[in-house]
Structure 1
Amino acid sequence: MKRVGFWPLAMLLAGGLHTASFAPLGWWPLQIAALALLAGAVNAATPRQAAVRGFCFSVAWLTSGLWWLYISMHDYGGMPAPLAALAVVVLAAALSLYVAGAMALFAWLRRGRPVPDALGFAACWLLAELARGQFFTGFPWIASGYAHSDGVLAGLAPWIGVYGIGAVAALLAMTLAMGWHAKTRSWRLAMLLVALPIAVQFAPREFTESTGTLRVSLLQPNVAQDLKFDGDRIVGQMAALQAQLQSAQGDLVVTPESVLPIPKDQLDPVYWQQLMAPFRSGVRAALVGTFLGNEQDGYVNSLVGVSAGGERYSYGKRHLLPFGEYVPPGFRWFVDLMQIPLGDQASGRSEAPFVAGGQRLRPLICYEDLFGEHMVDSAVAGADEATMFVNVSNLAWFGRHMVQDQDLQFSRLRSLEFQRPMVRATNTGATAVIDHRGRVTARLPAETAGTLDAEVEGRRGATPYARWLAAFGLWPLWGLGLAGVAGLAAGRAARVSRAAPPRYR
C-alpha cells in the first residue's frame, strides 16, 4: 500500500517542479529534470500505473500553471470561490487526459530497449502536446517547449518550433532517466545526452534580413479590471486615453485590446474623431483596440487601424477563448455564473497586414500568439508577409503574478520561430518589445500607467520552420509522433511473437 501511494504523490511534486521551469522563474533545466522523473516512473509501470502517474504529473503541472484563472472567475467574474477553484482543477484534469493516455500507450508498447524506448517516449509526449494544442479549439498554454525560450534548445525554434522542442526535451528526459539505472545505461544514450545539445549550438540561426526600423509607442493605461466597465469611471478613462494617444510620439501608436470599454458603434462620433485626429494626416498611424459590430450580429474584439489613408483597416480576433469570449454548447449556465461583460463574442476575419512607416504589421489579440500555425502565413513570402508582429492584450483579468511573464515567454518563442520582432501593448503588463532573436529589448513595469517608446527593426524572409509549417501545417510532427508509436508497436508485436520478456521493468 505504501508503494501504491508513493508514485502519485511523487508525480504531483514533479508536476509542480515542471511549472517552475517556465516564466517567471524560468529554470529551463528543471523542465527536463522534472520530465525525467515522469519518464522514470512510467518506464517501470504497467499501462494502468503509467496512466495514473502521467495524470498526476499533468494535473499538478497545469493546475499550478493555470491557477490564475481563479482570479478571473472569482475576483472579477463573481463565481463562488469553491466553484472557481474546482473549475481550475477540472480544466487541468480534463487536459491531463492527453498525457495520461500517452503514458499508458508508452507503457503498453515499450520494447525494453533503451534507444527505441527513448524515441518512443518522445513520440508519445509529442502526440499528447499536439492533441492538447489542437483538439476542441486547442489550449496549448505552457506547452513544454516554451520553457526553452532560453537555454541550449532555443536554437531549435526556427527549425522545429515549440512542439518539436518539447519532443526533443522529452527525448533527453527519458535518456536522463535511463541513465540512472545500470540496466539501461548505454554508450548510445550517453552520446545522445551530450551530443544533441552541443549540436544545436552549431545549427544555423539567421534566416531573415532587416527591413529598416519603426518608432513605436506602446500604451499601458493600467486600468484595474474591476473598474474598466464601471459606468461612473468610463468618462475619465476615455479622457485619459485621449491624452495618452495625443502625447505619444511614435510613428506607430498601439493601444491594448478593448482599450475602449464601449463598442465603437456606441461611441460619441465627436469623441472618436478627436481621438483619431493626430493620425489622419502626416505619416503617423495607430492601432486602437475596440469592439466592432452590433447587438444583432454580435461584437468582435477588434483592432482599428488609422492612418493618413483613413480608417480602412480592421482586424478581428479569430481564436476566441472558451468561457471568456464564446460559450461552448451546454455551458451557458457556467458563463452566466461568471458575469463577464461581452462574454459571448463573434469571431473575426483574417485581414492583410496593416502598413505603417514602411513596415507590414500582423496584429494578434490576446492569446492568439499561442497558435503559430495560425500565424505562419504572415511569416513567409507572399501578399500577407509581415515584417513585425503586434500583440495587444488585457491580462488584468488574471492579476499580475505569473500570467504576464508566461504570456511574454510565449511571444518570445514566436519571435524565435519566425524571426520576427513582436511589440506588445497591454493594459497592466507585460508591455514590451521583443527582437527577432526572442530577446526582450524594452519593457514597462507591471501595473504602471505609461507609454513605452522604442525603435524596432522589421525583418523579412522565412525560417525553415515557417516554410514547412506553411506548406504542411503541424502534420509532419503528427507523422513523426505516429511513426515513433508505430515503431514501438512493431517491436512489441515481434517481442510477443517470440514470447520474449523485456530486458528491464
Structure 2
Amino acid sequence: MSLYVSLFALLFILDNKSAKHAAGYGFLWGLGFFIAGIHWVAVSILDFGGLPVPVAGLLVVLLCAYLAIYPALCAYLLNRFTSHSSLLRYFIAFPAIWLITDWLRGWVMTGFPWLQFGYSQMDTPLVNYAPLLGVEGITVAVCLITASLYYAYRERKFIISAAVISVIVFSAMALQGQQWTTPQASKSIALVQGNTEQDEKWLPEKRTDILNEYLKLSLDHTDADIIIWPESAIPALEFQVKSYLDYVSELMRESNTTLITGIINYQRVDNIDEYYNAVIVLGQPQEHKNHSPINDRYYKNKLLPIGEFVPFEDLLRPIAPLFNLPMSSFQRGGEEQLNLAASNVHIATAICYEIAFNQTLVKTVTPDTGFILTVSNDAWFGTSIGPDQHLEIARMRAFEFQRPVIRSTNTGITAIYDAQGQEVGRIAQFEKAVLRAEVTPYQGTTPFNRYGNTPLLILSFLLFGAVFVHALITKKYQAKRLVSHSL
C-alpha cells in the first residue's frame, strides 16, 4: 500500500509543473525512494571498505542520486509531452515511460535493477502476470492502477479508472493456476549454510576449519540427491585445494550424490591473471561429465560494481581502500552458458547479484532446465534489509519461469521456493544448519521464458513514439490557432 501512496504523491507533485521543474521533483522523489530502499549498501562500505561514516554516507547518497536520474527522466518526459491530455498522460504515457526508464536503469553501465515495483506484489493477484510479462509487466500494472486512482481523483471521473483497475485485477485473478511447465520426478536437496564470519573467511589459518565444517555438515546428508554449498563456500582458489576437491568428489561419487559449491577459479591466460566467481559440480558419474548440453561449472557473468570489478580501475583504486575490497578483480563468464548437471537434472545458475537480471536467465533457462539455483553470500550486509530484498528478488524468478528456485547462502537467508513461488523451507540468518527438502523439478517454457521483456519494451517504445507524435501535432495545431487569432 505504501508504494501506491508514494507513487500517487509523485503524480500529484508533478501535476501542472513545467518539464524542468518536474525533473527536479522526480529526482528528489527518486533520491528518497532509493535511500530508503538501498541504504544498507553502507554496511559493506563501513565494515569492509575501511571508510569513515560520513564518507560511507556520502557514497550511498551519490549512488542513490545516480539512480534518481531515471525517475527524473521519466518525470521530465511525462510533463514535456503530455500536458494536454489526461487520458494520454495517465493511461499510456506514464506506464510506458516508467518502464523505459526502469529498463535503462537495469541496463546502463551493467545496470542496477533493484527495487522494481513488481517485487512488491508477490503476494497479490498481480504476481500471476509474472510468467507472461515478468516483473516488468507487474510494474506496469502497478503504474496503471496508481495512474487510474490519480485520474479519478484529479478529473472526478470514475468509470474509466474503475474499468482499468477491474480489467487488471480480474485478468490477473483469471491467470491463477495457469501452468506452462510440467513436473518431473522429485529430488532430495540438502542446502548447507556454513555461517562463516566474513572477516574470517579468507584468513589462511581458518581455511582448514571452514573446509572441515562444510564437509562435516554434509556427511549426514549423503543420501540426498544433491548437496549445495553457497557462493565461494571454499575459501581458496580452486587449484589450491585440488586434493580436497578430489577427495570430496570421490566421497560423493561413492554415495551416488552430487555436490555443487561456489569457489574462486584462477587461470593465467597470455601472462594475465584471471579470476572467476564460479560454481562447480563434484561427484558426477564419469559418463555425465561434460555431456552436452550440460556442464560441470558456471562462471559469473553479471559482476557487482566495486565489489567484484572496479570501473575505471587505474583511476579509482589509488583513491581509497573501498576500491580494494577482497575479490574485486573478477573476469566475466560468458553471457550464455550451459546448464549445470546434477542427479540427471539440468540447473540454470545465477551467482548472488545476478539473480536480479531476469533477462540473463531468459537466455540460460531452457525447456529442459529443472531448477534455478542461486548461490550467494549476503554476510557483506549484516542484519540490514538487503538479504530480505535479495531473497524476494530470487522468489520472483520462480513465478516468472515456473520452476523451483533454490537459494544457498553463507549466512542466510537460505531458502527453497517451489514452481508456484511458495516457500518450501528456509534457514534464518546467522545459523549454522542444513535445509533438507524434497523438490520437484519442472520443465517447459513460460511465455516470459521464451520472449523475455522484449514485447513489452517494444510496445512501450511504440506508445511513447505515439505520445511524441501527438505532442508535435498538438503543438502545431495550437501554433496555427494562435496565428489565425492574431490575424
**TM-score between the two structures when normalised by the length of structure 1:** 0.88
Query: Contact 2:232–2:277 (CA<8 Å) still a contact in 1?
Result: yes
Amino acid at match of 1:379: V
Amino acid at match of 2:277: N
1:97 and 1:224 mapped to 2: Cα distance?
Answer: 36
Offset at 1:227? 1.6
Deviates more, 1:308-317 or 1:123-132: 308-317
Offset at 1:418? 0.7
SS at match of 1:272: helix
1:242 and 1:356 mapped to 2: Cα distance?
Answer: 18
Q: Per the alignment, do residues 50 and 457 of structure 1 end up closer, same or farther by CA in structure 2, a change over 3 Å counting?
A: same
1:458 matches 2:441: yes
1:316 matches 2:299: yes
Number of the residue aligned with 1:421: 404
Number of the residue aligned with 1:64: 36
Q: Per the alignment, do residues 114 and 193 of structure 1 end up closer, same or farther by CA in structure 2, a change over 3 Å counting?
A: farther
Query: Contact 2:248–2:282 (CA<8 Å) still a contact in 1?
Result: no
1:283 and 1:369 mapped to 2: Cα distance?
Answer: 29
Number of the residue aligned with 1:307: 283
Amino acid at match of 2:239: D
Query: Contact 1:213–1:457 (CA<8 Å) still a contact in 2?
Result: yes
2:197 and 2:284 mapped to 1: Cα distance?
Answer: 33
SS at match of 2:205: coil
Listed as ranges, the matches of 1:322-333 within 5 Å are: 322-329=305-312, 330-333=315-318
Offset at 1:465? 1.4
Deviations 1:344-378 (A, max 9, x none): 11112343222222321112111111111111133
Q: Per the alignment, do residues 283 and 271 of structure 1 end up closer, same or farther by CA in structure 2, a change over 3 Å counting?
A: closer
Number of the residue aligned with 2:328: 343
Deviations 1:40-84 (A, max 9, x none): 221332112211111111111111211111111111221222111
Q: Select the residue among 213, 217, 232 that pairs with 1:244.
A: 217
Query: Contact 2:281–2:342 (CA<8 Å) still a contact in 1?
Result: no
Amino acid at match of 2:471: R
Number of the residue aligned with 1:354: 340
Listed as ranges, the matches of 1:148-297 within 5 Å are: 148-181=121-154, 183=155, 185-203=157-175, 205-249=178-222, 250-267=224-241, 269-294=242-267, 296-297=272-273
Query: Contact 1:246–1:278 (CA<8 Å) still a contact in 2?
Result: no
1:498 matches 2:441: no
SS at match of 2:125: coil
Amino acid at match of 1:314: R
Amino acid at match of 1:263: L
Number of the residue aligned with 1:482: 461
Q: Per the alignment, do residues 40 and 483 of structure 1 end up closer, same or farther by CA in structure 2, a change over 3 Å counting?
A: farther
Give the 4+ runs in structure 1 shifted more than 4 A: none
Query: Contact 2:348–2:364 (CA<8 Å) still a contact in 1?
Result: yes
SS at match of 2:140: helix
Amino acid at match of 2:308: E
Number of the residue aligned with 2:293: none
Query: Contact 2:24–2:72 (CA<8 Å) still a contact in 1?
Result: yes
Deviates more, 1:352-361 or 1:334-343: 334-343
Offset at 1:156? 0.6
Deviations 1:241-293 (A, max 9, x none): 221232224210010011111111122x4333333332123531011111111
Amino acid at match of 2:424: T
Amino acid at match of 1:299: Y
Number of the residue aligned with 1:3: none
SS at match of 1:297: strand
SS at match of 2:441: strand
1:129 and 1:335 mapped to 2: Cα distance?
Answer: 31
Amino acid at match of 1:341: P
Q: Select the residue among 376, 395, 403 that pairs with 2:386.
A: 403
1:167 and 1:331 mapped to 2: Cα distance?
Answer: 38
Query: Contact 2:250–2:283 (CA<8 Å) still a contact in 1?
Result: no
Amino acid at match of 2:395: R
1:218 and 1:273 mapped to 2: Cα distance?
Answer: 21
Offset at 1:314? 1.2
Deviations 1:415-440 (A, max 9, x none): 10110101111001110001111111
Number of the residue aligned with 2:45: 73
Offset at 1:334? 5.2
Amino acid at match of 1:227: E
Q: Per the alignment, do residues 306 and 234 of structure 1 end up closer, same or farther by CA in structure 2, a change over 3 Å counting?
A: closer
SS at match of 1:260: coil
1:283 and 1:266 mapped to 2: Cα distance?
Answer: 26
Query: Contact 1:434–1:442 (CA<8 Å) still a contact in 2?
Result: yes
CA RMSD of aligned residues (A): 1.9
Amino acid at match of 2:465: A
Query: Contact 2:248–2:283 (CA<8 Å) still a contact in 1?
Result: no
Deviates more, 1:399-408 or 1:85-94: 399-408
SS at match of 2:209: helix
Listed as ranges, the matches of 1:430-449 within 5 Å are: 430-449=413-432
Q: Select the residue among 102, 105, 108 that pairs with 1:132.
A: 105
Q: Per the alignment, do residues 335 and 459 of structure 1 end up closer, same or farther by CA in structure 2, a change over 3 Å counting?
A: farther
Query: Contact 1:430–1:443 (CA<8 Å) still a contact in 2?
Result: yes
Amino acid at match of 1:241: Y
Offset at 1:115? 2.3
Aligned residues: 464
Deviates more, 1:97-106 or 1:201-210: 201-210
SS at match of 1:287: strand
2:175 and 2:59 mapped to 1: Cα distance?
Answer: 43
Amino acid at match of 1:400: T
2:457 and 2:25 mapped to 1: Cα distance?
Answer: 24
Long gaps (5+) in structure 1: 1-28
2:448 and 2:348 mapped to 1: Cα distance?
Answer: 18
Amino acid at match of 1:129: D
1:237 and 1:246 mapped to 2: Cα distance?
Answer: 14
2:370 and 2:79 mapped to 1: Cα distance?
Answer: 46
Query: Contact 1:76–1:225 (CA<8 Å) still a contact in 2?
Result: no
Deviations 1:159-181 (A, max 9, x none): 11111211221111111112222
Amino acid at match of 2:461: L
Amino acid at match of 2:434: T
1:227 and 1:275 mapped to 2: Cα distance?
Answer: 23
**TM-score between the two structures when normalised by the length of structure 2:** 0.91
